[in-house]
Amino acid sequence: MAQNSENHRGSHAMIDICNFYGDENRLGNLVFDLMIEAIERTTMKIVHKHLEILNKDTPPGFSAILSLDSSHISAHAYTSKDIALTAFDCFTCGKTNPLEVLQYIYNELNKQFPDIKCTYEFNHKRFRY
């Protein structure tokens, strides 16, 4: 059975946002650009990136992912006014604090969308040893 060691090499952060709604293309591209900007502010490197706009067989929204040399950052959103939910996660192995990366994105979004609200924020130690 696993032991809960405090020694760790990575972290996994998550935030949930509500009241973020509008055109899925505009919001998807905005978030995707902010994700790239947030990672470029760190020492991590982007090794692959993809944005998928969702509006055919699902509620309107988007799914975005950046694969990093030290793991990943992702966003998944439903952007219709009746749902208006976005979930972010960032997993790193190394010294970068993934919660700071996600908080940067949230703060930048909040400047343009003051009605958004962070409903969940968590940073979990990973790669424990």
Residue 27's nearest CA partner among 72, 76, 74 is 76
Pairing of strands 117-128, 71-78: unpaired
Location of structure tokens 């505009």? 26
Domain spanning 21-128 has what CATH number? 3.60.90.10
Dist. CA 35–CA 119, nearest whole Å? 19
Q: How far is CA 122 from the centre of its chain?
A: 12
Q: How far is CA 72 from the centre of its chain?
A: 9
pLDDT tens for the chain, residues 1 to 129: 666 778 888 999 999 999 999 999 999 999 999 999 999 999 999 999 999 999 999 999 999 999 999 999 999 999 999 999 999 999 999 889 999 999 999 999 999 999 999 999 999 998 888
CA-CA distances (angstroms) from residue 43 to 6, 58, 69, 75?
24, 35, 10, 20
Q: What is the tally of helices (H) and strands (E) in the chain?
A: 2, 6
pLDDT of residue 7: 86
Q: Where are the domains of the chain?
A: 21-128
